[in-house]
Structures are given as C-alpha cells and as structure tokens.
C-alpha cells in the first residue's frame, strides 16, 4: 500500500503547486505586463470615471440611446456580477411574453417605425451581458435616436457605421455594433437633455 | 448564408487538420523512449520523479496501473472537496464567498476529478479565486492527464507482445501534464488575454452606468459591478483538457471569457485539438498511420453530420418570431434564426458549431444556452453525448472509447463471416468482449436510470424549469451529460440541489472510473497476447469500408438505446412546435 500512497500524495501536492500556483501566477504576471488593459477587463475611463467595459453591455431604455439585447440577469438586467441566460425553451410561454413585451416597448418608443424588428433585438443573449447588436438592429433604431436627439438620421447612421465591426479577417464571426461605445459617442456629439 | 456556414466551419476544420500532424508527432515522441525538448523539461521531469520517490524505468501491470490511478484520483477528490468546504478561511477570496455546502462540494469534486466539469454552481458568485486555481485548475490538468495516461496504456497493450506490463502511470501522468498540457495552456491563455479575457487577482470592478436604470422596487441603480478574476489561465486548460467548467456562470458565452470571434476560434479548436491529434499519435505508435486516419475520419464524419443538423435547425429558427412579425432571416446585416440564448458576435453558425463540437468532445463548455435551442438543435448535442463521448470525446478517453467500439466492430464483422475477430494483430476473445460490453453499457444504463429516478420523484421534478416535453429534455440532458462525463447542460434545470448534486455526482464517478478499470483490463489482456500474422481472412481496419462499419456500430448502439427516451423529449417537442 505504501508503495502507492507515497507517490500519490506527493503527486497531488506537486501538481497542485505546478498547475494551481506557478502556472496561473506566471500567466498573470505576463498578462499584466503585456496586456494590462485586456487583463483587467478592458475598462473605459472618461474624465477619471470608470464608465464600463468595452466588452460588457449595459442596459438602455431611453429613446435617445441605442438599445442592446434583452438581458435575463437578476435582479437587474446586465448584472455583470452574475451572468445568466433566460434558458427559456422555444415553446415556453414566458419566451413569447418577453418577445412581445420588447416589441411593445420598441413600438411605444417609436410609433411611426413600420420596419420589421430584427430578431436579436427581441431575444435575450446567452450571457445577459452581450455588448453588441447586429447592424440590422442598429439600423432599425436610427430614426428613433435621431428624433430624440434632434440630429439627422444620416449623422446617426454614420456613427453606427464607425462603430460596426466586420467579421475578423473578413470571415470569422458576425458583423456587429458595440452599443455602449456607440452611445458614448452619441453623448459626445450631443448630450441627452 | 450557405457560404457563411461553409466558410465558418471550413476554416475551423482546416486549422484543426493543419495542427493534427505536428502535435500528433510531438505527442508520440513524448510517450516514447526519448521525449523531445529535454533541455527545458528534462530537469523538471527528473525532479518530479525524485519527489515522488519512484523509478521511472519500473513498469506496472494493469492492476498496479489502475491502483495508482485510482489512488491519485481519490486523493484529488478529497482535496478538492476539502478546499471548497474551508475556502472562507483561506486567502485569495476578495469577495469573501462563504464555504460551499456538502452536497455541492461533493458534486463539484466528482465533476472535476472525473473530467466532466459539470457546473452545479455559478462560478463568479460561489468559488473563491483560490478554489478556482488550486482546486479546479489543478483537476483540469490532472484529470485530462489521467485520460491520456489510460489511452497510452491501452495503445501499449495493443502494440506489445507477450508483455505483462503496460507502462508506468506516474511517468505517463507527468509527461502528459509537463510536456503537453502546460505549454499549450500557457500559450493559449496569453492569446486569450490579448483578446480581452481577464487575468487578475483584483476584486470586482464597479463602474458608473451611462444611463441609470430603475429596479423592480423603484430604486435607481447607477452602477454596474463587473466580476473579474484569474480567468484566462483556467479557460485555456478547461478547453484543452476537454474539461469545460467555466470561470463565469455562463461559461464561454461570457464576453470576458470569450470576447471575440478570434478567441472563439482558438477556444473551439482547443476543444478537439488534443483528441484529434491523439488519433495521429495512435497511428504512429501502432506503426500504421492509416489506422489513426481511419479513426479520425470516423469521428469527423459523425461530427459534421450532427453539426449540419444543429446549424440547420437553429438557422430555421422558431416559428414564434415570424408569427409576431419579427425579422429572423439571415442577411449581410444580421445572423437571423433562433437568437434566444445566443451572443451577437457568434451568431447562429459559431454557436451551433460550438454546441456540437463541445458535446462530440466531452468538453461541455458552452458559448450559447443549449436550453433555448430549437428541439432538433438541442437534440444534436444530446445524441452526440449519448454516443458515449467517442466522437473525439475527452482527451485520451475519447480515443480509448472509440478503440473499444473498434473492437466491438471487428467482433460484429467476425460474427458475420464466422471468424475469430482480431484488431491490429491481436485476437479479440471472450475476456476482451466482456470488458468492452461493460464499457458500452455502463453509461447507457446510468443515463436512463438517473433520468427515470429524476422524473419519477418529487425532488427531481421540483427544479425543472421549462414545462412539458422540454422539461423532460432538461432532465434527460443532465443525466446524459453526467453519465458521459460531458458537463454541458440545459441550464434551466435547477441542478444545485441535494438530489441532483448527489445523483449526478455518483453518475460522473461511475462512468469515469468504472470505464477506466475495464479499459486497463483490456490493455493488460492484449499486452499478454502474441501477435498473430495477417491472413486473407483478416478484416483491414484502415479502409473506408471499416470506417463505414464503425460509424454504423456507434450510431446503431446509440440509437437503439436512446430513441425511446428522445421521442419523449426533443422529438415530441419538435412535432408540437411545427403545429
């Protein structure tokens, strides 16, 4: 028995030190030196105030801001301390209710808009923290944001295009618009009343 | 749209195949007489052996190999359990998270030691940084290395003649960790940090919201708290080691765990990188690379079939959206389809591709919420797990599982023509067949038994989230995931209860270690045998015919076992959805 217990005990200790302490510590040191911004959450600072992370979405429901995906985190949407999806199955009545509620909210904020609503604007993201929407979902909101801010739609559309990322190398992933950065750029042009 | 599907899936497959040969060749050297890169790793390796107090040249028979493996994993289980129970008094706990309950700690310990990495808990609100590193990350490494060690033991059993030993467990464990997993994980974690995956020991960061929001009680919330932590180092090994237990609750759907399409490609590749390359290693070690390619072809064909099903079903979407006048068509400006539970940057293709890759391999990390998939989109990952995690499967465990299926296949083919079956020059006899039958049956029985217990008990039904057929799917998915050491979930199911923690914990341990022991027994049995010369009646095991037979056996065993259960869940749900 001893011939097995001794190496087993020693092995669990050695590998704990090697992979549980030395390895993460080494990665942390290199990461903090080589990529300090990314390693600490890609935070956006404005006039000495931490405004958010470029990678983490925030909740918007005023007409003058672009709205992001639905977020199923609790107790408030976009709670970045407790990520969560809705986990609604496709036939769950709560899914239909959530979609309908979002449609109603979008229509109430922009009654004259007759365009069909893009699907990512009425569905909850997997993380509840999705920072982005599709270019289609941004286009749908341009008129509303322009009216609320007293700007022209073409000004807004131009800003949307500046904040649109194309698929990486032209092939990987999907085209998308970062909502928080777009809204910060809007505030830069003309603050909301 | 079709072109987008082909480009996304094609680029993934191309990069994967490009890595298979160099990594496969490197790993074959690592397990050989003279491992590569001696100058870097040699001194560390020898130091480890000295501290273990072992002689690396002394080999073990299969029983000693199994005892060493079980002893090491047993101690790992105790240590991880203990660490979770006392984390509140230990350092590196900036959020001051409390100790974890007994049932949850048992479930998590079983989960990570068995390479399942089912998460009954939410990472950022449960586990201290110390537990994540010293507990979970360590098991991410050594449970993967354990699987690789068993595989190498089995391959030695196949290649050796009249030998009583199959290698030294400590050597195989050490080399897997030191030469393969650590360098790959170090590289990958830095690539991930460059993309925006966090790696810090600082506590959560509080930021001022651009637009303050009201909560349910009518108060105004003006701040957001962003959970951080040493995530990249753990994510790298959770992908490479087919572990899958994420740093954050939503795993690789979290933008700080998988922020860009590029990080997504690297994480996706890492899931199948080692399992795919091990096929080539196998080919080298048995002295016939065609044998490895045949196995890799089998795995790839099955995977692509199910990927097509999942991508098709998710892109076709949920009829609900069109009924409500929502635009769910794919275009240059949007992914369209069933976007509930998916991230914008991944869209449909990279979400559904990930769902099938992570369940074909026994990884179980997710970048979208499987619970919100369409019925057929959710069926694909479920079936891939039910095939026994042999389509790429876990590192090591997937290939040894597939080799067991190869043995069953030569047996079935032998029955057809009335010859004693043989595989790679070794006669397959009653003992091997009994062990192989055990290995195939245990996960099937465990899956169905636990599903039956759960749906017929109040404790099991109490935490089902969705109603009707989908609720049954949640339970079936959980039992399947645990009993095949995958770890992904239909996450609506409230699994952090004493009932599920206990039953799923037992399932994970049973189908990990009760399969490892008979696999090692087969290794020992085969090592003992003489090589028999090939004859005209030998069934070649590198041909398209054999690949076809092997695919047939894997699919038929899976289908015969699980179609009735699937009919009660996703199949009936699909029929209801199209009403």
pLDDT tens-place string over residues B469-504: 999 999 999 999 999 999 999 999 999 999 999 999
Partners of A11 on chain B (C-beta within 8 Å) are 52, 72, 170, 173
Alpha-carbon radius of gyration of chain A: 22
Chain A residue at shortest CA distance from B254: A127
Higher pLDDT among residues B372 and B7, named by residue: B372
The nearest CA of chain B is from the CA of A144 a distance in Å of 17
- Please write the tens of the pLDDT for every residue from B246-276: 889 899 999 999 999 999 999 999 999 999 9
Q: Residue B381 is inside which H or E element, if any?
A: helix B375-386
* pLDDT tens-digit series, residues A14-35: 999 999 999 999 999 999 999 9
pLDDT at B95: 82
Question: How would residue B4 be classed by pLDDT, with cut points 50, 70 and 90?
Answer: confident
Predicted pLDDT at A2: 65
CA B273, chain centre distance (Å): 12
B267 in contact with A at a CB cutoff of 8 Å? no
Cβ(A44)–Cβ(A184) below 8 Å: yes
Write out chain B residues lying below 8 Å of A132, CB-based.
343-345
pLDDT in tens, B69-85: 999 999 999 999 999 99
**Residue in A with minimal Cα distance to B219:** A76
| Strand B326-327 versus strand B220-226 pairing type | unpaired
pLDDT of residue A193: 63
Between A54 and B95, the more confident residue is: A54
Average pLDDT of B293-312? 97
Distance of alpha carbon B51 from alpha carbon B70, whole angstroms: 20
* Cβ distance of B199 and A122 shorter than 8 Å: no
Is the alpha carbon torsion for A86, A90, A94, A98 positive or negative? positive
**């259960």: which residue's tokens?**
B565
- Give the span between the Cα atoms of B102 and B498, in whole angstroms: 9
Which is nearest to B473 in space by CA: B562, B564, B558, B565? B565
* Total-model pTM: 0.96
Q: Which residue in B214, B186, B153, B187 sits closest to B518, CA to CA?
A: B153
Rounded to a whole number of angstroms, the distance from the CA of A109 to the nearest CA of chain B is: 16
Put simply, the answer to whether B327 touches A187 (Cβ < 8 Å) is no
State the ipTM, two decimals. 0.96
Interface of B with A in 363-402 (CB under 8 A): 366-369, 371-375
pLDDT of residue B247: 87
Q: Indicate if the pLDDT at residue B396 is higher than 80.
A: yes
Tell me, rounded to whole angstroms, the distance of Cα A157 from its chain centroid. 20
Q: Determine the Cα–Cα distance for residues B334 and B348; give it in Å rounded to an integer.
A: 10
Q: Residue B40 has what pLDDT? A: 93
> What is the model's pLDDT at position A1?
60
Q: Are B519 and B129 in contact (CB under 8 A)?
A: no
Per-residue pLDDT, averaged over B198-208, amounts to: 94
> In 3-state terms, what secondary structure has residue B533?
coil
Question: How near does any CA of chain B get to the CA of A151, in Å?
Answer: 19
Q: Is the minimum CB–CB distance between B338 and chain A shorter than 8 Å? A: yes
Predicted pLDDT at B574: 96
B367 forms beta bridges with none
Q: What is the DSSP letter of B455?
A: H
Given this model, what pLDDT does residue B246 score?
82
Residues in chain B with CB shorter than 8 Å from the CB of A136 are 327, 331, 333-334
Q: Tell me the mean pLDDT in the region B152-179.
A: 96
Q: Tell me, what's the pLDDT at B83?
A: 95
pLDDT at B328: 95
Where does residue B498 rank: exposed (0-12), middle (13-18), buried (19+ CB within 10 A)?
Answer: middle
Cβ-Cβ contacts under 8 Å, B576 against chain A: 91
Chains A and B: how many Cβ contacts under 8 Å?
387
3-state secondary structure of B535: coil
Is the CB of A40 less than 8 angstroms away from the CB of B202? yes
Q: Tell me: the pLDDT tens digits for B230-250?
A: 999 999 999 999 998 888 989
User: Comparing C-alpha atoms, which of B198, B60, B230 is closest to residue B134?
Assistant: B230
pLDDT tens column, B518-565 = 999 999 999 999 998 888 888 999 999 999 999 999 999 988 899 999
Q: d(Cα B478, Cα B463) in Å, to the nearest integer?
A: 12
Residue B363: DSSP 8-state: -
DSSP string, A79-112: -TTS-------TT-HHHHHHHHHHHHHHHHH-TT
pLDDT of residue B579: 79
- Nearest CB neighbour to B208, from listed A51, A103, A136: A51
| Interchain pair A28, B200: CB under 8 A | yes
- pLDDT, tens digit, 9 for 90 and up, residues B435-473: 999 999 999 999 999 999 999 999 999 999 999 999 999
Report d(CA B5, CA B451) in Å as an integer. 35
For B471, phi then psi, to 5°, come to -65, -40
Q: Chain A: nearest CA to B133, how far in angstroms?
A: 5
Average pLDDT, chain B: 94
Pairing of strands B326-327, A117-118: parallel
- Residues of chain A contacting residue B338, judged by C-beta atoms under 8 Å apart: 90, 119, 123
Please give the average per-residue pLDDT across B279-288, as a whole number.
96
Q: How far separated are the first and last CA of chain A, in Å rounded?
A: 77
Which residues on chain B are in Cβ contact (under 8 Å) with A83?
122, 124, 227, 248-250, 253-254
Residue B542 CA to residue B534 CA, distance in Å, equals 14
Residue A151, classified by CB atoms within 10 Å of its CB into exposed (0-12), middle (13-18) or buried (19+), is middle
Indicate if the pLDDT at residue B118 is higher than 80: yes
Give dist(CA B278, CA B239) in Å, integer. Answer: 16
Tell me which chain A residues have a C-beta less than 8 angstroms from the C-beta of B170.
7, 11
pLDDT of residue B419: 84
How far is A70 from chain B, CA to nearest CA, in Å? Answer: 9
Residue in the block written with tokens 């002689």: B55
State how far the alpha carbon of A121 is from the alpha carbons of A101, B48, B183, B315, in Å. Answer: 12, 55, 42, 16
Q: Does B537 touch chain A (CB under 8 A)?
A: no
- Tell which residue, A108, A89, A69, A156, has the closest CA to residue B346: A69
């Amino acid at each position: 028995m001893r011939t097995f217990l001794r190496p087993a005990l020693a092995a669990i200790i050695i590998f704990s030190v090697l992979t549980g302490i030395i390895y993460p510590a080494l990665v942390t040191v290199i990461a903090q030196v080589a990529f300090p911004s990314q390693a600490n959450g890609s935070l956006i600072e404005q006039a000495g105030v931490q405004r958010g992370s470029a990678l983490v979405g925030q909740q918007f429901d005023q007409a003058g801001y672009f709205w992001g995906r639905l977020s199923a985190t609790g107790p408030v949407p976009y709670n970045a301390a407790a990520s969560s999806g809705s986990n609604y199955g496709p036939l769950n009545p709560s899914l239909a209710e959530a979609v309908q509620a979002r449609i109603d909210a979008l229509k109430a904020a922009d009654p004259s808009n007759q365009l069909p609503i893009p699907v990512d604007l009425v569905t909850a993201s997997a993380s509840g923290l999705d920072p982005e929407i599709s270019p289609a979902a941004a286009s749908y909101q341009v008129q509303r944001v322009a009216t609320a801010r007293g700007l022209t739609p073409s000004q807004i559309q131009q800003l949307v295009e500046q904040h649109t990322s194309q698929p990486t190398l032209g092939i990987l992933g999907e085209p998308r618009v970062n909502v928080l950065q777009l809204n910060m750029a809007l505030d830069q042009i003309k603050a909301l009343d | 749209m079709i072109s987008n599907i082909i480009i996304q899936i094609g680029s993934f497959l191309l990069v994967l195949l490009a890595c298979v040969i160099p990594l496969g060749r490197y790993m074959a050297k690592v397990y050989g007489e003279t491992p590569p890169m001696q100058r870097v790793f040699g001194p560390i390796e020898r130091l480890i052996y000295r501290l273990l107090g072992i002689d690396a040249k002394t080999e073990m028979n299969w029983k000693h190999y199994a005892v060493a493996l079980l002893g090491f994993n047993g101690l790992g289980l105790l240590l991880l359990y203990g660490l979770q129970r006392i984390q509140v008094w230990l350092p590196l706990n900036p959020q001051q998270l409390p100790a974890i309950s007994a049932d949850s700690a048992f479930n998590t310990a079983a989960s990570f030691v068995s390479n399942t990495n089912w998460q009954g808990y939410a990472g950022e609100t449960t586990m201290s940084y110390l537990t994540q590193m010293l507990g979970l990350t360590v098991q991410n490494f050594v449970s993967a290395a354990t699987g690789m060690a068993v595989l190498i033991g089995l391959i030695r059993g196949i290649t050796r003649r009249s030998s009583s030993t199959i290698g030294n467990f400590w050597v195989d464990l050490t080399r897997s960790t030191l030469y393969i997993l650590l360098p790959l994980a170090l590289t990958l974690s830095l690539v991930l940090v460059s993309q925006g995956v966090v790696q810090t020991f600082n506590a959560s960061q509080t930021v001022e919201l651009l637009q303050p929001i009201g909560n349910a009680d009518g108060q105004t919330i003006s701040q957001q708290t962003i959970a951080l932590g040493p995530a990249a180092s753990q994510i790298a090994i959770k992908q490479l080691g087919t572990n899958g237990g994420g740093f954050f609750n939503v795993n690789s759907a979290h933008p700080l765990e998988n922020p860009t399409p590029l990080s997504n490609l690297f994480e996706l590749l890492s899931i199948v990188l080692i399992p795919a390359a091990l096929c080539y290693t196998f080919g080298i070690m048995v002295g016939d690379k065609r044998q490895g390619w045949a196995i890799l072809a089998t795995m790839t064909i099955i995977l692509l079939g199910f990927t097509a099903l999942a991508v098709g079903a998710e892109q076709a979407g949920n009829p609900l959206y069109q009924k409500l006048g929502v635009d769910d068509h794919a275009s240059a400006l949007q992914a369209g389809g069933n976007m509930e539970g998916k991230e914008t940057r991944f869209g449909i293709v990279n979400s559904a591709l990930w769902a099938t890759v992570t369940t074909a391999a026994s990884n179980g990390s997710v970048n979208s919420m499987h619970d919100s998939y369409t019925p057929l989109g959710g069926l694909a990952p479920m079936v891939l797990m039910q095939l026994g995690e042999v389509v790429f499967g876990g590192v090591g465990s997937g290939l040894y599982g597939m080799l067991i299926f190869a043995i069953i296949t030569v047996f079935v083919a032998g029955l057809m023509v009335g010859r004693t079956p043989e595989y790679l020059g070794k006669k397959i006899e009653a003992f091997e067949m009994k062990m192989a039958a055990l290995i195939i049956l245990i996960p099937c029985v465990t899956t169905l038994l636990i599903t039956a217990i759960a749906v017929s008990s109040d404790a099991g039904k109490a935490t089902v989230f969705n109603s009707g057929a989908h609720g049954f799917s949640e339970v079936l998915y959980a039992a399947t995931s645990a009993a095949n050491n995958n770890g992904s979930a239909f996450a609506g199911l409230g699994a952090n209860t004493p009932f599920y923690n206990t039953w799923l914990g037992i399932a994970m341990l049973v189908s990990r270690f009760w399969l490892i022991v008979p696999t090692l027994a087969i290794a020992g049995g085969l090592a003992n045998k003489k090589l028999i010369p090939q004859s005209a009646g030998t069934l070649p095991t590198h041909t398209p015919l054999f690949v076809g037979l092997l695919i047939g056996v894997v699919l038929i065993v899976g289908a015969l076992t699980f179609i009735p259960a699937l009919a009660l869940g996703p199949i009936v749900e699909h029929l209801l959805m199209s009403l």
